[in-house]
Amino acid sequence: MKEVVVLSGKGGTGKTSIVASFASLAQSKVLVDCDVDAADLHLLLKPKVKEEKEFWSGRVAFIDEDKCTECGLCQELCRFGAIKDFKVDPLSCEGCGFCYQVCPVDAIAMKDSMSGHSFISETKYGYLCHARLGIAQENSGKLVALVRQNAKLIAERENLDYIITDGPPGIGCPVISSLSGASLALLVTEPTLSGIHDLERVIGVCRHFGVPVLVCVNKYDLNEENTCRIESYCGNEGIEVSARIPFDNVITEAIVQGLPVVEYSNNKVTQQIKELWQIIPAKLEK
Site residues, another protein (CB under 8 A): 9-13, 16, 37-38, 40, 43, 59, 77, 79-80, 91-92, 94-98, 101-102, 133, 135-138, 140-141, 168-177, 190-195, 197-198, 201, 204-205, 208-209, 219, 222-223, 226, 247, 249, 252-253, 255-256, 258
CA distance 206 to 184: 9
CA distance 148 to 162: 12
The CA-to-CA distance between both ends of the chain, in Å, stands at 13
User: Minimum distance from CB of 61 to another protein (Å)?
Assistant: 10
3-state secondary structure of 79: coil
- What CA–CA distance (Å, rounded) separates 273 from 212? 20
User: With b meaning 16 or more CB within 10 Å and e meaning fewer, what string describes 230-252?
Assistant: bbebbeeeebebbbbbbebebbe
How far apart are CB 27 and another protein at their closest, in Å? 26
| Closest approach of another protein to the CB of residue 159, in Å | 33
Whichever of 2 and 42 has its CB closer to another protein, that residue is 42
Closest to another protein by CB, 155 vs 188, is 188
Instruction: Output 75 or 223, the one with its CB closest to another protein.
Output: 223
Distance between CA atoms of residues 286 and 284, nearest Å: 5
DSSP-assigned states of every residue in 90-104: TTT-----HHHHH-T
**Smallest separation (angstroms) from another protein to the CB of 115:** 9
**Minimum distance from CB of 259 to another protein (Å)?**
11
* Smallest distance, another protein to C-beta of residue 156, A: 27
Q: Residue 254 CB, nearest distance to another protein (Å)?
A: 10
Strand partners, 130: 119
Q: Which CB atom, from 246 or from 283, has the smaller least distance to another protein?
A: 246
Nearer to another protein (CB atom), residue 135 or residue 282 = 135
DSSP secondary structure letters along 177-245: HHHTT-SEEEEEE-SSHHHHHHHHHHHHHHHHTT--EEEEETTGGG-HHHHHHHHHHHHHHT-EEEEE-
Nearer to another protein, 175 or 273 (CB): 175
Q: Cα torsion for 8, 14, 15, 20, to the nearest 10°?
A: -170
Nearer to another protein, 134 or 155 (CB): 134
